[in-house]
Amino acid sequence: MKKWCRWLVVLPLICFSCTPASDTERNVTQFEDEGVLVAQEHVIPEPILLPRYMGISGDYLYVYKEREEKMFVLFRLSDLSFLTETGAKGQGPHDFNLVDTRSFTPTPDGFKVIEAGSGHLRDVVISDKGFHVRKSMQIFEGAPFNGFYSLGDSLYLSFGGIMDGKNEFALVNVKSGDVTNVGEYPDWDGITGSDEFIPFIVFLKRCAVHPDKKKFAAFYTKFKRFRIFDSEMNLLRDVNVQTDPCKTLFYDDPDKWPVYYLGDPYATKNLIFSLCTYYRTNKEGNSELHVWDWDGNPIGCYSLGRSLSLMTIDEQRGRVIAMDVHQDSTIYVYDLPDKVKEYMK
């Protein structure tokens, strides 16, 4: 009864803040809940140079840093105490060689990840002493694709390998070797039909796959916008976030383009968490956490008080754990609002 009451209360808010333009399109002008989250700062013993990914497995938090001899830093999740540096760079059976950060897939006792250089899928077990590669197998030759998101035991979503191609995605079956190019780029702001820009660059994005792997959400870096697809590449929702600032500008110099969704979004069975950074806008330096349900409805928007580039969600404790690449000795921890924790149940 409690859940039914909650939905009866929030339904008018959701309807007010989302304007459907079609069966799939949503124009979001406000969130159901807005506020400010205050960080607890955890100073770590040694700087993490160029952190590229944060992940959680059991009671461990790990951070990937691709340019050092030990490529991961391992922490106890409960109190964020430092455990060890692990994952030596190299070609050995327990070493790592430039992993694809989009291919991290959690397992009950660690994670799986694909090496971009070798095409090996590594099954990693985590303990207090560090990483142990339980199994490694080559699943493709070379690195012909841009990113791998697991949609099943053998099926991966990629952004394709052709810079000037017309298809936004590729489905790669590593068992059969079949590659299917799917999904034409969207026609937003007249960019798709322009010869001035390469769609592959303009439509940079990061994805979050639902835990059941039957759908995923793609968040666009240069547009304040995301789309939800099922695993057969049917478009379910196209969400245009029209909260200020939201203007998209394309100059001759790409270094001046505004940046919105950056870093890896995080998916639970009920919610999607995305980090909106506002680089090169009038809101720069104050990242926001955006929370959505899987119908593309806006649940919450929370100011994080600083510029952040990486984040993950501690589902068990209801926390956001984040880093700023410019503050490489600090981990920031935010408690999620009670409303969001209720949606996560």
pLDDT surpasses 70 at 18: no
> Per this entry, what is the length of the chain?
345
Contact residues for 243 (Cβ-Cβ < 8 A; gap 6+): 28, 29, 30, 31, 224, 301
In a domain, 10, yes or no: no
For residue 6, is pLDDT > 50? no
Closest CA to 277 of 319, 239, 323, 309: 309
Q: Does residue 7 sit within a domain?
A: no
Higher pLDDT, 200 or 41: 41
Would the pLDDT of 16 be above 60?
no
Q: At 263, which CATH number?
A: 2.120.10.30
Is 267 a residue whose pLDDT tops 70? yes
Range 191-214 average pLDDT: 83
CA gap 57, 54 in Å, rounded: 10
Question: What was the pLDDT predicted at 22?
Answer: 67
Helix (H, G, I), strand (E, B) or coil at 341: helix
Secondary element (H or E) of residue 238: strand 235-241
Rounded Cα distance between 36 and 320, Å, is: 13
Residue 20 pLDDT > 80: no
What is the tens place of the pLDDT at every residue in 102-125?
999 999 999 999 988 788 899 999
Q: 93: cis peptide before it, omega within 30°?
A: no
Q: How far apart are CA 152 and CA 135, in angstroms?
A: 18
Q: How many domains does the chain have?
A: 1
- Give the residue with greater pLDDT, 14 vs 320: 320
| Whole-prediction pTM | 0.91
Tell me: the pLDDT tens digits for 66-105? 888 899 999 999 999 999 999 999 888 888 988 999 999 9
- pLDDT tens sequence across 276-324: 999 999 888 899 999 999 999 999 999 999 999 999 999 999 999 999 8
Q: Which domain holds residue 277?
A: 18-344
Establish if 3 belongs to a structural domain: no
* Predicted pLDDT at 295: 97
In the chain, where does DSSP find H-type helix? 2-17, 199-202, 338-344
Please give the Cα distance from 76 to 67 (Å, whole number).
23
5 in a structural domain: no
Higher model confidence: residue 14 or residue 182? 182
Mean pLDDT, all residues of the chain = 88
